[in-house]
Chains A and B, each alone.
Chain A
Amino acid sequence: MQLVLERRAERSTAIAVASPLIAIALTLVTMAILFAALGKNPVTALSVYFVDPLTDSYSLVELAVKATPLIIIAVGLSLCYLANVWNIGAEGQFLIGAVCGSWLAVKTQGTDAGFWVLPAMLILGAVGGALYALIPAIAKVRFGASEILTSLMLVYVADLLLDYLVRGPWRDPNGFNFPTTAEFDPVATVPILIEETRLHLGSLIALVVVAVASVVLGRTIKGFEIKVVGAAPRAARFAGFDADKLVILTFVISGALAGLAGIIEVAGPVGHLQPNFSPGYGFTAIIVAFLGRLNPIGILIAGLFLALTFIGGEQAQISIKVPLDLTKVFQGILLFYVLACDSLILYRIRVVSSRSGAADGIV
Chain B
Amino acid sequence: MGLFEAIILSVLAASTPLLLAAAGELVTERAGVLNLGLEGMMIMGAACGFAGAYFTGSVIVGALAGILAGMFMSALFAALTLGLAVNQVAAGLALTIFGIGLSGLIGAGFVGERIETAPHLYLPMLTDIPWIGKIAFGQDGFVYVSIALVIGIWWFLYRTRAGLILRAVGDNHVSAHALGYPVLRIRTLAVLFGGACAGLGGAYLPLAYTPFFTPGMTAGRGWIALALVVFASWRPGRVVTGAYLFGGVTILQLHAQAMSLPIPSQFMSSLPYLATVVVLIVISRRRGLAGSAAPASLGLVFVPDR
- Which residues does A use to contact B, with CB under 8 Å? 4-7, 86, 88, 135, 139, 143-146, 148-150, 152-154, 156-157, 160-161, 163-164, 167-168, 283, 286-287, 290, 323-333, 335-336, 339-340, 342-344, 346-347, 356, 360-363
Contact = CB atoms under 8 A, between A and B. Distances in A.
B48 interface: no
Contact of A156 (B91, B101, B220, B303): B220
B223 A144 contact: no
Interface in B248-306: 264, 266-267, 269-270, 273-274, 276-277, 280-285, 287-288, 292, 303-306
Nearest to A284: B97
Contacts of A329: 98, 101-102, 105
Interface in B58-99: 76, 80, 83-87, 89-91, 93-95, 97-99
B4 to A, nearest CB: 30
Contacts of A5: 83-85, 303
A213 B166 CA distance: 44
B21 interface: no
Contacts of B118: none
Chain B interface SS verdict (over half): helix
A120 to B, nearest CB: 27
A362 B95 contact: no
Contacts of B285: 143-145
Interface in B183-227: 183-185, 215, 219-220, 223-224, 226-227
Contacts of B90: 290, 335, 339
B230 to A, nearest CB: 6
Given A145-B281, A360-B304, A347 B85 contact: yes
Contact of B273 (A154, A168, A327, A339): A154
A145 B104 contact: no
B87 A363 contact: no
A139 B86 contact: no
Contacts of B304: 4, 360-362
B94 A335 contact: yes
Given A153-B273, A361-B181, A336 B80 contact: yes
Interface residues of B, number: 62
Contacts of A283: 93, 97
Chain A interface SS verdict (over half): helix
B238 interface: no
A146 B94 contact: no
Contacts of B280: 139, 145-146, 149-150
Nearest to B101: A328
B53 to A, nearest CB: 21
B269 A160 contact: yes
A323 B274 contact: no
Contact of A157 (B91, B274, B303): B274
Contact of A335 (B83, B93, B183, B230): B93
Given A150-B280, A330-B101, A335-B90, A340 B267 contact: no
A362 B267 contact: no
Indicate the member of A331, A339, A363 with the most B CB atoms within 10 Å.
A339
Indicate the member of B87, B219, B283 with the most A CB atoms within 10 Å.
B87
A4 B292 CA distance: 33
Contact of A336 (B94, B181, B266): B94
Contact of A325 (B83, B104, B182, B220): B104
A326 B91 contact: no
Given A153-B276, A335-B97, A362-B182, A164 B287 contact: no
A19 B86 CA distance: 14
Contact of B108 (A143, A153, A323, A332): A323
A294 B255 CA distance: 46
B180 interface: yes
Nearest to A7: B303
Nearest to B303: A5
A93 to B, nearest CB: 15
A8 to B, nearest CB: 11
Contacts of A335: 90, 93-94, 97-98
A1 to B, nearest CB: 16
Indicate the member of A145, A161, A340 with the most B CB atoms within 10 Å.
A145
